[in-house]
Amino acid sequence: MTTITRFAPSPTGRLHVGNIRTALHNWMLAKKNGGRFLLRIDDTDAERSREEYVDAIRADLAWLGLDVDGEERQSLRLEKYQAAFDALLQAGRIYPAYETSQELDLKRKIQLGRGLPPIYDRGALNMTDAERAEKEAAGIAPHWRFKLDHSEAITWDDAVRGVQKFDASQLSDPVIRRADGSWLYMLPSAVDDLDMGVTDVLRGEDHVSNTAVQIQMFTALIAAQYAAAKMPRFAHEALLVGKEGKLSKRLGSLGCDAFRERDIEPQAIIAMLARLGTSLPVEPIADRSVLIDTFDLGKFGRAPARFDDAELDRVNAALVHQMDFAMAAPRLPEGMDEAGWHAIRPNLSHVSEAVDWWRLVIGPIDQPEFSDEDKAYVGEAASALEWSEDPWHGLTAAMKAATGRKGKQLFLPLRQALTGMDHGPDMGELLPLIGEAEARARLEQAAS
């Protein structure tokens, strides 16, 4: 059976790092098994959904290189949900409820006060036809709940958490449809998974209790309407936390826009999130096939996955140091060729920094104040400079022989005169890029 996974964001905002991680892991699970990765836009909340966010979700996935094998939109599938609703209603698995939110809050407080779990008491099931008619006559429209079967425990073998077991009587019958006729998450999601042939549902551990409820919903839908369908497998990964070990509101707003502003490479985000929360080390791996080959839900841990900006920066810098010229070229300053990229690349943490380092080649540079002794030294170097395939090592060898200088005294004044800096790219690679005439002019200027 072909592996089919899905990523199902609601277009009520931009993707954040937690969403990105979920999308990535579903993509990797599908790719590892030669399967399909689907995008489902959960836009049944018409008031909060925005088309601009749909476009942004697609753009962010494309920027990350997470290619989608198909897309569905829930807003175009309302007839499917109505058909499923009617089938479950006919099967006695859906019932109307009339409590207001205030009444439900009061019930929960009373239950908590009695030391009981704050679950729905199924009061609506005890209503008579006359009582329902009275509510309808008063203009009170019902919301609709899915009736859980309390006779059997809910169990599944989670690919991350192992065997899971829930007592259905300790769960609330979930509201699946509001009084205004709009849909909540539970039923449309189950219908879509069956319709789309989803084989694996991989999501955050905050959905574990939702899965318990949806397993009964899947069973009821298969019995009532989808006889040939199979229930997906489930896996729930630990949530992301900040480096301090606490849930961070910042992680909920940290998305692709923020990464792009920091000039973080998409490969760095992929390399980090691919293994965050697993027993495998986070490494600067640019080759996605390596990450896919080593992807294994069995290596996911139960402890929260810690997201650290410093670690992301470390991975990003390492990947920039590996990056070939062709990949970097569209973002490099005018005139920088492959030799220039090779010379400057080891000094970069982000590709955008190449502009500043390239100024060492094209100038102008700001030279420091030199002592009289160093002025004389770089003036002598201007005269000693002979252009060759390796002018830097020729120059330093000549100046060492002529002056007896060694180490920092030999190299630093020359670097300062030629670049204006105490550190930077390898001078053996940089000096040929500066060129003979410009190099001599800078040495003479420093000596004057």
Give Cα 319 to chain centroid, integer Å.
Answer: 17
Which residue in 194, 431, 173 sits closest to 442, CA to CA?
431
Question: CB neighbours (10 Å) of residue 19?
Answer: 20
- What is the token pair recorded at 161? 């958490």
Which residue in 300, 248, 309, 243 sits closest to 274, CA to CA?
300
Q: How far apart are CA 97 and CA 108, in angstroms?
A: 16
Q: How far apart are CA 29 and CA 34, in angstroms?
A: 9
Cα atoms found within 13 Å of the Cα of residue 263, Cβ hemisphere only? 13
Which residue in 66, 67, 7 sits closest to 267, CA to CA?
66
- What is the token pair recorded at 375? 């002025």
Binding residues: 249
Binding residues for ATP: 249
Give Cα 448 to chain centroid, integer Å.
Answer: 55
* DSSP codes of every residue in 83-111: HHHHHHHHTT-EEEE---HHHHHHHHHHH
Which residue in 286, 289, 333, 335 sits closest to 435, CA to CA?
335
- What is the token pair recorded at 297? 């839900």
Which residue in 258, 194, 215 sits closest to 14, CA to CA?
258
Burial class (CB in 10 A: 0-12, 13-18, 19+), 373: exposed
The letter for the amino acid at 245 is G
- What is the token pair recorded at 110? 């009373």
